[in-house]
Amino acid sequence: MLRRNIKSTRSFSITASLGKWTEIPLAPPDKILGISEAYNKDSNNKKINLGVGAYRDNFGKPIIFPSVKKAEVLLLEKETEKEYTPIIGSKNFQNLVKNFIFNNSGKDPNGEKLINEGRIVTSQTISGTGSLRVIADFFNRFYSSKKIIVPKPTWANHIAVLKDAGLEPSFYEYYNTSINGLDYEKLIESIKSVDNETIILLHACCHNPTGMDLTNEQWDEVLNIIIEKNLYPMVDMAYQGFSSGDPYKDIEVIRKLNKLVVDGKIKSYSLCQSFAKNMGLYGERTGSISIITESAEQSQSIESQLKKLIRPMYSSPPIHGSKIVETIFSNEELLNQWLTELNEVVGRLNTVRTKLFEKLDGSIYNWDHLNKQRGMFIYTGLSQEQVIKLRNEYSVYATEDGRFSISGVNDDNVDYLADAMNKVIKESK
Amino acid sequence: MNYFPEIKELPPDPLFGLKARYTKDSRSDKVDLGIGAYRDNNGKPWILPAVKLAEKKLINDDSYNHEYLPIEGYKDFVVNAGKIIIGEESVAIKEDRIVSQQSLSGTGALHLVGKFLKDFYHNKTAKIYLSKPTWANHNQIFTSLGFEVDNYPYWDNDNKSLDLQGFLKAIEDAPQGSIFLLHACAHNPTGLDPTEDQWLQILNKLSEKDHLPLFDSAYQGFASGNLEKDSFSIRTAVDKKIFKAPILICQSFAKNCGMYGERVGAVHVIPSETNEKLNNAIASQLKKIIRSEISNPPAYGAKIVATILNDKELFNQWQEDLTTMSSRINKMRLKLRELLINLQTPGTWDHIVNQTGMFSFTGLNPDMVKRLEEKHGIYMVGSGRASVAGLNDGNVEKVANAFDEVVRFYAKSKL
């Protein structure tokens, strides 16, 4: 046996040894980040990048929130170590996330009760994607169903992340492009038709990519179905603050869920959250997961299992972003500054949204949906062909589902963009 | 209904659990020889001067921002990290045979490589062979990905030295095309590395059997103070061109830059033949894994390391910092041995100075370690691994006396 093995080793030619690896197919480039790459290569000086969801100021430049920069300067002065945090992040970070989100900084007695009863387990994660990955892996291991439904459409990476962790994602109806609006009846119908105990992924606010959120009443109705069918709510909150400009106002669904848990109507739900957008900490990968549990005792078990899951993946989370968050939250002046800056950022997005709306030709296409959508994106309703045409003929880069990142628009390019969009629509009529 | 009916509370991770017990201990003269992070001579964590300078330079730079990195990571970082580990003049670089991907430090690198191998290594039944003993996390990194894990002999406890013959025999006996995880330098937990000659024997034997070498490089420059010396095993494997299998490297800057919590690391895949298509395929598949797990790697730490590697002055400062750390640790090794010899503590203690890196595999057994913790407030891993970085002029005598006490205590009870 041994002899034969050795012989076959010798017979490995160069091509055979290459053959070991040439089975590796080229994976397709990521849709969203691929657009940035194409944009960077374009030499047209009028080019516009409406692809990636990162904020740009009115000059088309990335910003650092001044409050974040101040926190970094403070850190540079005061930081004395760069040690590992615990596997699930520092206690301080966990606690401030709990207080900020679930207690709504002292404004949600239900959330406060859950915190005090030890019924919330929080772990720092590698921003939003990392939070989804960990929570999905956790559900794959411990939850009764692997089925998870996500809105149609949803963030391009959701399906890959959930599948990769072993869950079985499918869609629930959400949006109808032919009317550029929420397809609420179908949404209700499709949620009602799934198996009991299915996990349901809910975008807390600023639905990505459509920007179209449920109204208060619609949330209540959806949550009622969740109770009736015993679905498990998993909330993805990437844009807290981007709907109203105020992070405390954008978490209505969290408040509703907290109340349902306290009232005993549901026992558990989960949250994936990130500071990527609302603090502009994109590349620092700062976010968290929280699981609302049935008891303090169960919290202990869940926390220990989360640690077991994370330890062999990456051991512990990166500290720079979380230290910035901790610094800002520990200093009231900085905290208020950040809230003001966030409000200004969202204000600019809304101004640009209105400007674009005004310059678009409403006589050839109904753009009313633009003003209903919230957050970083507008979901134009343009077809794939139209988006490609915008790219090829006007150097306007966006994902082929017609999602435009509104922060790529500014005073200098809004006319050019509106003109290009009007032309493309006219030509395809 | 119970949503998570099967869930049970697990014991804490041994290393993080140890740290938690240490933190809780109220004795003022407690000593932490547990987790592997450098301490200065006052027992305090140390931010390398090179790192502080780089941070200052970085955040005052006009182009500094917090944008997403590309999925493959910060280019300036990954490219230079590759040069640091295999050498700027490496034949693999000249022949365009290196594919690099930023990772979440060492663990993230190992996890990524494991997942990649699971999906694409031709030998679908290949086991991963780990040294016995090895870093506590290695085993679960690979078993959690569905690998079968096996061991190769490494530490000869009787002679407190390398079991070279056992190691070589395990390489010989392993089915052809197995995966061998090798500690590039400063073996964790024993601190014992093969000599250059022993490395040659090991690498030759691995290539004869067409095994795949997977290097874990967590301590480059930290062990000897010299980056080149500490990457001897890797550079030899690459330069000799004896492997038909690709060479995989998991690299971390946690220890050698003192950037533990910043999670800076990289994976380098070095195929044996130049093939651009293959490089692209490997890169694209690594990116696909990253995209679905974390989207893109954390920026700050990578930018700091890139700043150091790109700036001659900062680079020189870093060299100095490496010497500061490695020479202080060596001084403590010598001191501890000297004290134990003076105390005439039963046993031999030369291994403490022959070992390198952050750790010493003391040879103390689990009972002795337990007694060290309970009676003396000295915390170390049950295997007898002591983080030498936890020693300083203020506590080394206490530690030597305590070692002496526990060794004699159990020697006596044996009689």
| 8 Å CB contact of B67 and A282 | yes
In the structure encoding, which two tokens stand for residue B118, read together? Answer: 């699971």
Does residue A203 belong to any structural domain of this protein? yes
What's the pLDDT at A264?
96
pLDDT of residue B39: 95
Local confidence pLDDT in tens for the 415 residues of chain B: 577 888 888 888 788 789 889 999 999 999 999 978 999 999 999 999 999 999 999 999 999 999 999 999 999 999 999 999 999 999 999 999 999 999 999 999 999 999 999 999 989 899 999 999 999 899 999 999 999 999 999 999 888 899 999 999 999 999 999 999 999 999 999 999 999 999 999 999 999 999 999 999 999 999 999 999 999 999 999 999 999 999 999 999 999 999 999 999 999 999 999 999 999 999 999 999 999 999 999 999 999 999 999 999 999 999 999 999 999 999 999 999 999 999 999 999 999 999 999 999 999 999 999 999 999 999 999 889 999 999 999 999 999 999 999 999 998 755 4
Domain count of the fold of chain A: 2
Q: Which of A298, A330, A362 is the last residue of a domain?
A: A330
Domain check: are A171 and A222 in the same one? yes
Q: Give domain status of residue A7, yes or no.
A: no
B216, B230, B303, B318: which is the annotated catalytic residue?
B216
pLDDT in tens, A74-101: 999 999 999 999 999 999 999 999 999 9
Give B408 to chain A, closest Cα distance, Å. 35
Q: How far apart are CA B415 and CA B408, in angstroms?
A: 11
Is residue A17 scored above 60 in pLDDT?
no
Given B115, B255, B303, B335, the catalytic residue:
B255
- Domain shared by A112 and A225, yes or no: yes
Q: Does B293 touch chain A (CB under 8 A)?
A: yes
- B307 neighbors B91 (Cβ within 8 angstroms): no
Round to whole Å and give the CA distance between A196 and A268. 15
For residue A192, what is the domain's CATH number?
A: 3.40.640.10
DSSP letter string, A349-393: HHHHHHHHHHHS-TTTS--THHHH--SSEEE----HHHHHHHHHH
In a domain, A77, yes or no: no
Taking residues A225-250, report their average pLDDT: 96
Q: Report pLDDT for A15.
A: 35
What is the DSSP-derived secondary structure letter of residue A109?
Answer: H
Distance from CA of A425 to the nearest CA of B (A): 33
- For B358, list phi and psi in degrees, rounded to 5: -75, -25
pLDDT for the residue numbered B150: 98
Which pLDDT does position A45 carry in this prediction?
94
Would you call A416 helix, strand, or coil by DSSP? helix
Residues A423, A317, single domain; the answer is: no
A276: enclosing H helix or E strand: none
Q: For residue A4, tell me if it sits in a domain.
A: no
Rg (CA), chain A: 23
Q: Is residue A18 part of a domain?
A: no
Residue A6: pLDDT band with limits 50, 70, 90: very low
Of A108, A137, A183, A236, which one is the catalytic site residue? A236
* pLDDT of A127 over the 80 cut: yes
pLDDT tens across A158-184, in order?
A: 999 999 999 999 999 999 999 999 999
Q: Are residues A245 and A366 in the same domain?
A: no
Model pLDDT, residue B13: 77
| C-alpha to C-alpha distance for A20 and A95, rounded to whole angstroms | 49
Neighbours of A80 (CB within 10 A): 9
A and B: number of Cβ contacts within 8 A? 249
The beta-carbon neighbor of A83 closest among B45, B121, B141 is: B45
Interface test mutation site (partner B, options A7, A11, A21, A140, max chain B beta carbons within 10 A):
A21
Same domain, A48 and A123: no
In this structure, what token pair is assigned to residue A257? 């869920």
The answer to whether residue A297 sits within a structural domain is: yes
Residues of A in contact with B258 (CB under 8 A): 82
* A380-425 pLDDT, tens digit each: 999 999 999 999 999 999 999 999 999 999 999 999 999 999 999 9
Same domain, A121 and A148: yes
- Which CATH number does B68-310 carry? 3.40.640.10
Residues of CATH 3.40.640.10 domain(s) within chain B? Answer: 68-310
> Could you report the predicted ipTM of this complex, rounded to two decimals?
0.94
Least Cα distance to B342 among B386, B397, B410, B389 occurs for B397
| Per-residue confidence band for A370, with pLDDT thresholds at 50, 70 and 90 | very high
The answer to whether the beta carbons of residues A257 and A102 sit under 8 Å apart is no
- The CATH class of B14-46+327-406 is alpha beta
DSSP codes joined into one string, B33-51 = --S---B-TTS-B---HHH
| Spatial distance between the Cα atoms of B260 and B242, rounded to a whole number of angstroms | 34
Q: What is the DSSP string of A4-43?
A: HHHHHHHT--HHHHHHHHHT-PPPPPPHHHHHHHHHHH--
Show residues of chain A in contact with B293, CB under 8 Å: 126, 129-130, 133, 161, 164, 313
Q: Do B1 and A230 touch (CB under 8 A)?
A: yes
Together in a domain, A175 and A203: yes
What whole-number distance in Å separates Cα of residue B21 and Cα of residue B17? Answer: 6
Boundary-marking domain end, from A296, A330, A364 = A330
Q: Is A6 in Cβ contact with B176 (below 8 Å)?
A: yes
Q: Tell me how crowded residue A383 is: count the other CB atoms within 10 A of its CB.
A: 16
Q: For A28-66, how does the pLDDT look when each residue is reduced to its tens digit (9 = 90+)?
A: 777 776 787 889 899 999 999 998 778 999 999 999 999
What residues of chain A lie within 8 A of the CB of B6, using their CB? 142
How far is CA B241 from each of CA B90, B159, B220, B350, rounded to the nearest angstrom? 11, 34, 22, 36
Residue type, B19: K
Asked whether residue A11 is assigned to any structural domain, the reply reads no
Q: Please check whether residue A219 lies inside any domain of the structure.
A: yes
The domain in which residue A375 lies consists of: 31-64+336-428
* E runs forming strands in A262-351: 269-274, 286-292
B303 is catalytic: no
pLDDT at residue number B413? 58
Instruction: Work out the minimum CA distance from A302 to partner chain B, whole angstroms.
Output: 7
Q: Which pLDDT score is estimated for B1?
A: 58
The domain that holds A37 is classified in CATH as 3.90.1150.10
Give B103 to chain A, closest Cα distance, Å: 9
Same domain, A346 and A315: no
Note if B350 is an active site residue. Answer: no
A298-320 pLDDT, tens digit each: 999 999 999 999 999 999 999 99
DSSP tag of A201: E
Last residue of a domain, one of A330, A364, A398: A330
Interchain contact, B299 vs A284, CB within 8 Å? yes
